[in-house]
Amino acid sequence: MPVVHEFSIAEAIATQVLSYAPVGRRLRGVEIRVGALRGLDSEALQMAWEAVTFGTSMAESVLAVDQRPWSITCSECGREWTSPVPFVSCSCGNQTPSPTGGDELDLLAVTVDEEDGEEAT
């Protein structure tokens, strides 16, 4: 897996997170959603996140990746299902069902420490 790819995405996420995380409060977690087309490996992305945030205010935060699967449609029997890989055969025997995937790459939420008594935002 080309980790360098995940590295550049992790850097983009870090830049964006910094613009949201309130100053002085510890970042605990980051949630992202990744479409199947992006070809991002969750494990590699987490390694890259650790490396990119090391020594920063975001260090030790957890990157949670909601990896969206491929949608598979069989043109022979009409069955629709999801799969982590695009090229799969159908239970009806069709070797070439059509894969479609999204290319979303979204920052969904950040989790930060909050001081006691503070209003949630």
Query: Which positions touch another protein (CB under 8 A)?
Result: 2, 4-5, 8-9, 12-13, 15-16, 20, 28-29, 32, 37-39, 86-87, 96, 98-99, 101, 103-116, 120-121
* Parallel/antiparallel/unpaired status of strands 80-83 and 62-67: unpaired
Considering the complex, state which of residue 82 and residue 98 has its C-beta at the smaller distance from another protein: 98
Is 12 or 59 the residue whose CB approaches another protein more closely?
12
Q: Which two tokens stand for residue 77?
A: 């029997």
Shortest Å distance, C-beta 91 to another protein: 18
State the minimum distance, in angstroms, from the CB of residue 38 to another protein: 6
**Closest approach of Cβ 79 to another protein, in Å?**
16
Query: Could you tell me the sign of the dihedral formed by the alpha carbons of 54, 60, 61, 66, in that order?
Result: positive
Q: With beta carbons less than 8 A apart as the criterion, state whether 21 and 110 touch.
A: yes
Q: Tokens 């590295």 appear where?
A: 7
d(CA 73, CA 71): 7
Smallest distance from the beta carbon of 87 to another protein, in angstroms?
6
DSSP state of 36: G
